[in-house]
Amino acid sequence: MNKVKDFVEWKTFGVCTAIGEKLGIATSRIRLFFIYATFLTMGSP
């Protein structure tokens, strides 16, 4: 189970890092955006 978690985190955070480097935005802000977007769109069709 730990290997799966590590793989998912590595892939997800790697994407956030790549987006942040391209746009010049802090990685933590991108991660927060994805978290907020997930909660906001959870109930919408």
The pLDDT tens digits of the residues spanning 1-45 come to 678 877 777 777 778 888 888 899 988 898 889 888 888 888 776
Residue 11: what pLDDT? 76
* Core vs surface per residue 17-31: b (16+ CB within 10 A) or e: eeebeeeeeeeeebe
- For tokens 């907020």, name the residue: 36
The answer as to whether 2 is a domain residue is no
Residue 35: what pLDDT? 85
Side chain identity, residue 27: T
Do the beta carbons of residue 19 and residue 30 sit within 8 Å? Answer: yes
Residue 22: what pLDDT? 87
Residue 24: what pLDDT? 92
| Domain count within the chain | 1
Instruction: With 0.95 as the threshold, say if the pTM is over it.
Output: no
Q: Which residues constitute the domain of residue 20?
A: 9-40
Residue 8: what pLDDT? 74
The answer as to whether 36 is a domain residue is yes
